[in-house]
Amino acid sequence: MANEYISKGGIDYAKSILEKALGNQKAVGIINKLTSSLQVKPFDFVRKADPAQLVSYIQSEHPQTIALILAYLDPDQSSSILAALPSDMQADVAKRIALLDRTSPEIIKDIEDVLEKKLSNFMIQDFTSAGGVESIVQILNKVDRATEKTILENLEVQDPELTDEIKRLMFVFEDIILLDDKDIQKVLRDIEQKDLALAMKGTTDEVKDKIKRNMSKRAAETIQEEIDFMGPVRLRDVEESQQRVVATIRRLEDSGDIIVARGGGDDIVV
Protein backbone atom coordinates (compact mmCIF):
# COMPACT_ATOMS: atom_id res chain seq x y z
CA MET A 1 0.00 0.00 0.00
CA ALA A 2 2.85 2.37 0.84
CA ASN A 3 4.45 1.51 -2.49
CA GLU A 4 1.23 2.54 -4.26
CA TYR A 5 1.02 5.79 -2.28
CA ILE A 6 4.58 6.67 -3.32
CA SER A 7 4.02 5.88 -7.00
CA LYS A 8 0.88 8.05 -7.08
CA GLY A 9 1.80 11.00 -4.90
CA GLY A 10 5.42 10.88 -3.87
CA ILE A 11 7.20 10.00 -0.63
CA ASP A 12 5.85 12.98 1.34
CA TYR A 13 2.29 12.08 0.40
CA ALA A 14 2.84 8.43 1.37
CA LYS A 15 4.38 9.48 4.70
CA SER A 16 1.46 11.77 5.59
CA ILE A 17 -1.13 9.08 4.78
CA LEU A 18 0.74 6.42 6.74
CA GLU A 19 1.19 8.73 9.73
CA LYS A 20 -2.56 9.31 9.90
CA ALA A 21 -3.27 5.61 9.65
CA LEU A 22 -0.45 4.11 11.74
CA GLY A 23 1.22 6.88 13.67
CA ASN A 24 4.55 8.62 13.11
CA GLN A 25 6.88 5.87 14.34
CA LYS A 26 5.39 3.05 12.23
CA ALA A 27 5.07 5.33 9.21
CA VAL A 28 8.75 6.28 9.32
CA GLY A 29 9.72 2.64 9.68
CA ILE A 30 7.73 1.58 6.62
CA ILE A 31 9.00 4.48 4.50
CA ASN A 32 12.63 3.74 5.48
CA LYS A 33 12.26 0.10 4.46
CA LEU A 34 10.71 1.03 1.14
CA THR A 35 13.01 3.85 0.12
CA SER A 36 16.06 1.62 0.52
CA SER A 37 14.95 -0.47 -2.45
CA LEU A 38 12.01 1.35 -4.01
CA GLN A 39 12.39 2.88 -7.43
CA VAL A 40 9.91 5.36 -8.87
CA LYS A 41 9.89 5.47 -12.65
CA PRO A 42 11.66 8.28 -14.47
CA PHE A 43 9.40 11.09 -15.73
CA ASP A 44 6.86 10.17 -13.05
CA PHE A 45 6.03 13.85 -12.65
CA VAL A 46 5.09 14.00 -16.35
CA ARG A 47 2.32 11.46 -15.80
CA LYS A 48 0.24 14.19 -14.18
CA ALA A 49 0.57 16.51 -17.17
CA ASP A 50 -2.14 16.82 -19.80
CA PRO A 51 -1.04 14.99 -22.99
CA ALA A 52 -2.14 17.86 -25.24
CA GLN A 53 -0.09 20.30 -23.15
CA LEU A 54 2.87 17.94 -23.06
CA VAL A 55 2.98 17.68 -26.86
CA SER A 56 3.65 21.39 -27.14
CA TYR A 57 6.64 21.02 -24.81
CA ILE A 58 8.29 18.00 -26.40
CA GLN A 59 7.46 18.02 -30.13
CA SER A 60 10.45 20.28 -30.83
CA GLU A 61 12.79 17.84 -29.07
CA HIS A 62 14.93 15.27 -30.89
CA PRO A 63 12.92 12.12 -31.79
CA GLN A 64 15.20 10.04 -29.57
CA THR A 65 14.36 12.25 -26.59
CA ILE A 66 10.64 12.00 -27.34
CA ALA A 67 10.93 8.22 -27.69
CA LEU A 68 12.66 7.94 -24.30
CA ILE A 69 9.95 10.00 -22.59
CA LEU A 70 7.05 8.09 -24.19
CA ALA A 71 8.64 4.74 -23.33
CA TYR A 72 8.39 5.57 -19.62
CA LEU A 73 4.84 6.97 -19.67
CA ASP A 74 1.59 5.04 -19.39
CA PRO A 75 0.55 3.64 -22.82
CA ASP A 76 -2.71 5.63 -22.72
CA GLN A 77 -0.80 8.87 -22.29
CA SER A 78 1.93 7.91 -24.76
CA SER A 79 -0.59 6.97 -27.45
CA SER A 80 -2.30 10.36 -27.21
CA ILE A 81 1.04 12.14 -27.53
CA LEU A 82 2.22 9.92 -30.40
CA ALA A 83 -1.01 10.53 -32.32
CA ALA A 84 -0.61 14.30 -31.87
CA LEU A 85 2.95 14.42 -33.22
CA PRO A 86 3.54 15.45 -36.87
CA SER A 87 2.91 12.46 -39.15
CA ASP A 88 6.45 12.57 -40.55
CA MET A 89 7.81 12.17 -37.01
CA GLN A 90 5.49 9.42 -35.73
CA ALA A 91 7.15 6.43 -37.41
CA ASP A 92 10.62 7.65 -36.45
CA VAL A 93 9.62 7.97 -32.79
CA ALA A 94 7.83 4.60 -32.88
CA LYS A 95 10.93 2.93 -34.28
CA ARG A 96 13.16 4.50 -31.65
CA ILE A 97 10.85 3.30 -28.85
CA ALA A 98 10.95 -0.23 -30.25
CA LEU A 99 14.75 -0.20 -30.41
CA LEU A 100 15.31 1.32 -26.95
CA ASP A 101 17.07 -0.89 -24.44
CA ARG A 102 18.81 0.78 -21.52
CA THR A 103 19.64 4.46 -21.12
CA SER A 104 22.31 5.88 -18.83
CA PRO A 105 21.08 7.56 -15.63
CA GLU A 106 22.96 10.72 -16.59
CA ILE A 107 21.03 11.15 -19.85
CA ILE A 108 17.69 10.48 -18.16
CA LYS A 109 18.52 12.98 -15.43
CA ASP A 110 19.44 15.68 -17.95
CA ILE A 111 16.15 15.22 -19.82
CA GLU A 112 14.17 15.15 -16.57
CA ASP A 113 15.84 18.39 -15.45
CA VAL A 114 14.84 20.14 -18.67
CA LEU A 115 11.26 18.90 -18.46
CA GLU A 116 11.05 19.80 -14.80
CA LYS A 117 11.96 23.39 -15.59
CA LYS A 118 9.42 23.50 -18.42
CA LEU A 119 6.56 21.94 -16.47
CA SER A 120 7.54 23.28 -13.01
CA ASN A 121 6.57 20.01 -11.32
CA PHE A 122 8.10 17.89 -8.58
CA MET A 123 10.63 15.39 -9.89
CA ILE A 124 11.45 11.95 -8.55
CA GLN A 125 14.50 10.12 -9.86
CA ASP A 126 14.65 6.53 -10.99
CA PHE A 127 16.75 4.61 -13.43
CA THR A 128 15.14 1.57 -14.98
CA SER A 129 14.95 0.04 -18.42
CA ALA A 130 12.12 0.97 -20.77
CA GLY A 131 11.20 0.83 -24.41
CA GLY A 132 11.44 -2.19 -26.66
CA VAL A 133 9.01 -3.72 -29.12
CA GLU A 134 6.43 -4.55 -26.45
CA SER A 135 6.43 -0.93 -25.33
CA ILE A 136 5.59 0.45 -28.78
CA VAL A 137 3.02 -2.34 -29.28
CA GLN A 138 1.18 -1.23 -26.13
CA ILE A 139 1.22 2.36 -27.35
CA LEU A 140 0.09 1.56 -30.89
CA ASN A 141 -2.75 -0.58 -29.55
CA LYS A 142 -4.08 2.55 -27.87
CA VAL A 143 -3.88 5.00 -30.80
CA ASP A 144 -6.61 5.39 -33.39
CA ARG A 145 -6.54 3.20 -36.48
CA ALA A 146 -5.51 6.02 -38.85
CA THR A 147 -2.49 6.93 -36.73
CA GLU A 148 -1.48 3.28 -36.38
CA LYS A 149 -1.74 2.72 -40.12
CA THR A 150 0.34 5.80 -40.95
CA ILE A 151 3.06 4.84 -38.49
CA LEU A 152 3.27 1.22 -39.64
CA GLU A 153 3.29 2.14 -43.33
CA ASN A 154 6.14 4.62 -42.85
CA LEU A 155 7.98 2.31 -40.47
CA GLU A 156 7.74 -0.55 -42.96
CA VAL A 157 9.72 1.52 -45.46
CA GLN A 158 12.42 2.16 -42.85
CA ASP A 159 12.57 -1.27 -41.20
CA PRO A 160 10.36 -4.08 -42.62
CA GLU A 161 11.57 -6.72 -40.16
CA LEU A 162 10.83 -4.55 -37.13
CA THR A 163 7.41 -3.71 -38.57
CA ASP A 164 6.58 -7.40 -38.98
CA GLU A 165 7.60 -8.08 -35.39
CA ILE A 166 5.41 -5.24 -34.14
CA LYS A 167 2.44 -6.43 -36.21
CA ARG A 168 2.77 -9.97 -34.86
CA LEU A 169 2.52 -8.72 -31.29
CA MET A 170 -0.24 -6.15 -31.83
CA PHE A 171 -2.95 -8.77 -32.27
CA VAL A 172 -2.36 -12.32 -31.05
CA PHE A 173 -4.57 -15.31 -31.77
CA GLU A 174 -6.18 -15.26 -28.30
CA ASP A 175 -7.42 -11.72 -28.99
CA ILE A 176 -10.02 -13.22 -31.32
CA ILE A 177 -12.36 -13.32 -28.32
CA LEU A 178 -12.45 -9.51 -28.49
CA LEU A 179 -14.03 -9.56 -31.94
CA ASP A 180 -17.75 -9.17 -32.53
CA ASP A 181 -19.52 -12.48 -33.35
CA LYS A 182 -20.35 -11.34 -36.88
CA ASP A 183 -16.71 -10.41 -37.47
CA ILE A 184 -15.54 -13.79 -36.20
CA GLN A 185 -17.90 -15.45 -38.67
CA LYS A 186 -16.37 -13.41 -41.51
CA VAL A 187 -12.89 -14.43 -40.39
CA LEU A 188 -13.84 -18.12 -40.22
CA ARG A 189 -15.08 -18.03 -43.81
CA ASP A 190 -11.59 -16.99 -44.95
CA ILE A 191 -9.62 -19.62 -43.00
CA GLU A 192 -8.85 -23.18 -44.09
CA GLN A 193 -10.25 -25.78 -41.71
CA LYS A 194 -6.87 -27.44 -41.25
CA ASP A 195 -5.27 -24.14 -40.21
CA LEU A 196 -8.13 -23.39 -37.82
CA ALA A 197 -7.97 -26.81 -36.16
CA LEU A 198 -4.20 -26.58 -35.69
CA ALA A 199 -4.46 -23.02 -34.37
CA MET A 200 -7.14 -24.06 -31.85
CA LYS A 201 -5.06 -27.04 -30.73
CA GLY A 202 -2.81 -24.86 -28.62
CA THR A 203 -5.24 -22.29 -27.25
CA THR A 204 -7.54 -21.87 -24.26
CA ASP A 205 -11.02 -23.32 -23.80
CA GLU A 206 -12.39 -19.78 -23.79
CA VAL A 207 -11.05 -19.14 -27.29
CA LYS A 208 -12.23 -22.54 -28.54
CA ASP A 209 -15.73 -21.96 -27.17
CA LYS A 210 -15.91 -18.48 -28.70
CA ILE A 211 -14.95 -19.83 -32.12
CA LYS A 212 -17.27 -22.84 -31.99
CA ARG A 213 -20.21 -20.66 -30.91
CA ASN A 214 -19.83 -18.85 -34.23
CA MET A 215 -19.95 -22.04 -36.28
CA SER A 216 -22.82 -24.34 -37.13
CA LYS A 217 -23.28 -27.28 -34.78
CA ARG A 218 -22.04 -29.70 -37.42
CA ALA A 219 -18.99 -27.56 -38.26
CA ALA A 220 -18.12 -27.22 -34.56
CA GLU A 221 -18.33 -30.99 -34.10
CA THR A 222 -16.17 -31.57 -37.17
CA ILE A 223 -13.47 -29.15 -36.05
CA GLN A 224 -13.43 -30.70 -32.56
CA GLU A 225 -13.08 -34.18 -34.07
CA GLU A 226 -10.14 -32.99 -36.15
CA ILE A 227 -8.49 -31.51 -33.06
CA ASP A 228 -9.04 -34.72 -31.08
CA PHE A 229 -7.62 -36.98 -33.77
CA MET A 230 -4.68 -34.71 -34.53
CA GLY A 231 -2.48 -36.12 -31.81
CA PRO A 232 0.69 -34.37 -30.56
CA VAL A 233 1.80 -31.45 -32.73
CA ARG A 234 4.82 -29.18 -32.72
CA LEU A 235 4.34 -25.86 -30.98
CA ARG A 236 5.98 -24.13 -33.94
CA ASP A 237 3.31 -25.53 -36.29
CA VAL A 238 0.54 -24.33 -33.98
CA GLU A 239 2.05 -20.84 -33.79
CA GLU A 240 2.43 -20.66 -37.56
CA SER A 241 -1.24 -21.56 -38.03
CA GLN A 242 -2.25 -18.97 -35.44
CA GLN A 243 -0.19 -16.36 -37.28
CA ARG A 244 -2.01 -17.18 -40.52
CA VAL A 245 -5.32 -16.66 -38.75
CA VAL A 246 -4.06 -13.34 -37.33
CA ALA A 247 -2.85 -12.30 -40.81
CA THR A 248 -6.37 -12.96 -42.12
CA ILE A 249 -7.87 -10.84 -39.34
CA ARG A 250 -5.52 -7.94 -40.09
CA ARG A 251 -6.24 -8.22 -43.84
CA LEU A 252 -9.99 -8.06 -43.23
CA GLU A 253 -9.47 -5.12 -40.87
CA ASP A 254 -7.39 -3.28 -43.46
CA SER A 255 -10.14 -3.78 -46.07
CA GLY A 256 -12.77 -2.51 -43.64
CA ASP A 257 -14.67 -5.82 -43.51
CA ILE A 258 -14.24 -6.22 -39.76
CA ILE A 259 -13.49 -3.93 -36.81
CA VAL A 260 -10.77 -4.56 -34.26
CA ALA A 261 -11.47 -2.39 -31.22
CA ARG A 262 -8.68 0.04 -30.38
CA GLY A 263 -8.17 3.45 -28.79
CA GLY A 264 -9.01 6.84 -30.20
CA GLY A 265 -12.77 6.37 -30.53
CA ASP A 266 -12.61 5.85 -34.32
CA ASP A 267 -14.11 2.35 -34.11
CA ILE A 268 -17.35 3.34 -32.37
CA VAL A 269 -20.28 1.94 -34.32
CA VAL A 270 -23.70 3.63 -34.16
Q: Could you report the per-residue pLDDT of 49-90, keeping only the tens digit for each?
A: 777 778 877 888 899 989 988 888 888 888 988 998 988 899
Q: What is the pLDDT of residue 69?
A: 86
Q: What is the pLDDT of residue 270?
A: 42
Mean pLDDT of all residues belonging to the chain: 80
Please write down the HEC assignment for all residues of the chain.
CHHHHHHHHCHHHHHHHHHHHHCHHHHHHHHHHHHCCCCCCCCHHHHHCCHHHHHHHHCCCCHHHHHHHHHHCCHHHHHHHHHHCCHHHHHHHHHHHHHCCCCCHHHHHHHHHHHHHHHCCCCCCCCCCCCCHHHHHHHHCCCCHHHHHHHHHHHHHHCHHHHHHHHHHHCCHHHHHHCCHHHHHHHHHCCCHHHHHHHHHCCCHHHHHHHHHCCCHHHHHHHHHHHHHHCCCCHHHHHHHHHHHHHHHHHHHHCCCCCCCCCCCCCCCC
44-168 maps to which CATH number? 1.10.220.30
Q: What is the pLDDT of residue 123?
A: 36
Check if 44-168 and 172-254 are the same fold.
yes
User: For the chain, which residues make up each domain, given as ranges?
Assistant: 2-35, 44-168, 172-254
172-254: what CATH class?
A: mainly alpha
Q: What is the pLDDT of residue 39?
A: 54
pLDDT for 138-156, tens place per residue?
A: 888 777 767 877 898 899 8
Q: What is the pLDDT of residue 264?
A: 47
